[in-house]
Structure 1
């Protein structure tokens, strides 16, 4: 009988199902003002510890949670950061998204994911970010098309930063790996293997976004007296696109004149290129190097030599440029990466 009474008492403090409990309801039950309830859920607010404890206990019993959107009207901060992406088929962007959301959550921020696609235009996505009054916008390896650039230049009240790519715009800060230096280092690796017919596989072209990997690669080859033999283009950063790009090249090029080595703009294109070699019974006949060091790169069937970006560090620096008042407006950052040597940069002659 006693347990039944306790159960009924516990039920009686909750509001009827379907009715949202408000701060006013908690205040009436606790015998305090609505503003005292608000302070009990605001970090650093002036409130007696015992009052705070009592209010939070009653709120928990009633099923109350604070309305963050309402609070944002008074604090002028939504604690919401918009993340703009456009290539979720690229595993490295998924990894970067994971790292970014974890680091933001650790700082008390929530995220609004804006996945740009042919059906969902950049202008529509960024208008939504503005309407939600986000505290900042992070472009995660996103191709900065004209619409994005135009919007970014208009919303001066929202801090923004580009990560993993150079913005190409003086007033849009970026945090990225030094792609030019990385390209030069990969060229040196190929030259050390004695290769002379060397190519590059590029992803989607963008007038506004500069990775600088191709430039560094081509310039170092030229310094050593080697011309870049060809640049293949893939429409998207996807394995299938990398595979088809190399298959088309091999069908159009006699075996004797084919490339000895290819630097692919990222790992997923490189893995597609390696699959093309397997399909053509030409495994290991062309040296392949990628960029990003995704998890699949270390798989026994690939053992892809690649260039690792310091993702955790870059994300941390990007977030600081959004949420730390002392860091907002700081210059763009270019960080060094690490060449990861495995096996794919070596080839077996035809």
Structure 2
């Protein structure tokens, strides 16, 4: 029967309380509540019954510290304006949870946040770091190395940094396919809109765009730069280009580094009455990309497979293959089709 004394109810139930009620040692309680531990079935049943009666929940933090594992993975992110990041976060946290791992999300939106974010991961004794950000500074690499060689895996971007594993989509081939699709329909004047630049990591998409142009001797292109991956930036950058360029010199194709920039660009064209005069493509295949308002031609990334591979590498970090790139899927809709002639 449960204790009805309010003072006793307010006190947190401990393993010692369970051991006393079940008539076993604390060591037996620990084994009974550990998956896969060897213990007599009758002893396990007594402990489980006592724990259920007392409302006992094991202290996972204390257990993980005793096992020298926290079962916690740090997810380092930036560019939170990009809705694709939110999708990746949700999927990653879900897969970690299914494997009995906890997520520690560290937002490094400002450069000054790097040190405090990684210090926090160290304080929580994270078992590994999944990097989902744009910029991978040397200081972050050095801090991870000083945290006891915790595995660091860069997802969705490539990097030449030593001792860092890469799990990414082949952005080069994906964007090359998108650019070739525009070439096949007769586009001659191209622009590329990229997001925040980084010397430490790369998507490979701009390089795929340039390679497709070079293959057709279309070396000249307009390069536009957005400071963040956001719809507003896609809109603003496109408006500045249109306002600063003579109408008869507009490009007829705009390859955007991701979907949210492309969606902002389409909004800008629509507002200025130019929808259908410039073909547009994206990358990521956001839910909004399939909306009748956008029908965005894009590339879909194998998110589930990428996340699964990254977690496997965290749990077994000694991988001979440092870099793995998975192919994207070309998603053809209608935003790449020119439906109006420029004035």
**Same fold per TM (> 0.5)?**
yes
Provide closer, same or farther for how the CA distance between residues 14 and 308 of structure 1 changes in structure 2, counting only shifts above 3 A: farther
Alignment of 1:107-186 (within 5 A): 107-118=99-110, 121-186=113-178
CA distance in 2, matches of 1:23, 1:134: 25
Counterpart contact for 1:203–1:233, Cα < 8 Å: yes
Describe the SS at the equivalent of 1:16: helix
**Shift in Å at residue 64 of structure 1?**
1.1
> How big is each residue's C-alpha offset from its partner over 1:98-155, in whole Å with a ceiling of 9 and x where there is no partner?
1111111111111111111228611110111111111111012442133323323433
Which residue of the partner structure matches residue 51 of structure 2? 59
**Shift in Å at residue 12 of structure 1?**
3.8
- What's the C-alpha RMSD, in Å, of the aligned pairs? 1.7
Provide closer, same or farther for how the CA distance between residues 113 and 329 of structure 1 changes in structure 2, counting only shifts above 3 A: farther
**Shift in Å at residue 279 of structure 1?**
1.3
> How big is each residue's C-alpha offset from its partner over 1:285-325, in whole Å with a ceiling of 9 and x where there is no partner?
11110000010000010000001110111111111110135
Q: Which runs of 5+ in 1 are unaligned?
A: 1-8
CA distance in 1, matches of 2:104, 2:245: 47
Aligned pair partner of 2:76 in 76, 84, 92:
84
Please say if 1:216 is aligned against 2:208: yes
Describe the SS at the equivalent of 1:44: coil
Which residue of the partner structure matches residue 318 of structure 1? 310
Higher alpha-carbon deviation: 302-311 or 66-75:
66-75
Counterpart contact for 1:182–1:213, Cα < 8 Å: yes
CA distance in 1, matches of 2:321, 2:11: 47
Which residue of the partner structure matches residue 194 of structure 2? 202
**Shift in Å at residue 13 of structure 1?**
9.0
Describe the SS at the equivalent of 1:56: helix
Which residue of the partner structure matches residue 234 of structure 2? 242
Which residue of the partner structure matches residue 339 of structure 1? 330
Describe the SS at the equivalent of 1:235: coil
Counterpart contact for 1:159–1:328, Cα < 8 Å: no
Describe the SS at the equivalent of 2:131: strand
Counterpart contact for 1:246–1:276, Cα < 8 Å: yes
CA distance in 1, matches of 2:147, 2:159: 16
CA distance in 2, matches of 1:165, 1:242: 21
CA distance in 2, matches of 1:153, 1:69: 24
CA distance in 1, matches of 2:83, 2:121: 25
Counterpart contact for 1:13–1:62, Cα < 8 Å: no
Which residue of the partner structure matches residue 297 of structure 1? 289
Which residue of the partner structure matches residue 5 of structure 1? none
**Shift in Å at residue 10 of structure 1?**
3.8
**Shift in Å at residue 328 of structure 1?**
4.4
Counterpart contact for 1:39–1:47, Cα < 8 Å: yes
CA distance in 1, matches of 2:112, 2:43: 48
Higher alpha-carbon deviation: 13-22 or 242-251:
13-22
**Shift in Å at residue 11 of structure 1?**
4.6
Aligned pair partner of 1:74 in 55, 60, 66:
66
**Shift in Å at residue 339 of structure 1?**
0.8
CA distance in 1, matches of 2:29, 2:70: 19
**Shift in Å at residue 73 of structure 1?**
2.3
CA distance in 1, matches of 2:177, 2:111: 39
Which residue of the partner structure matches residue 3 of structure 1? none
Describe the SS at the equivalent of 1:17: helix
Which residue of the partner structure matches residue 8 of structure 2? 16
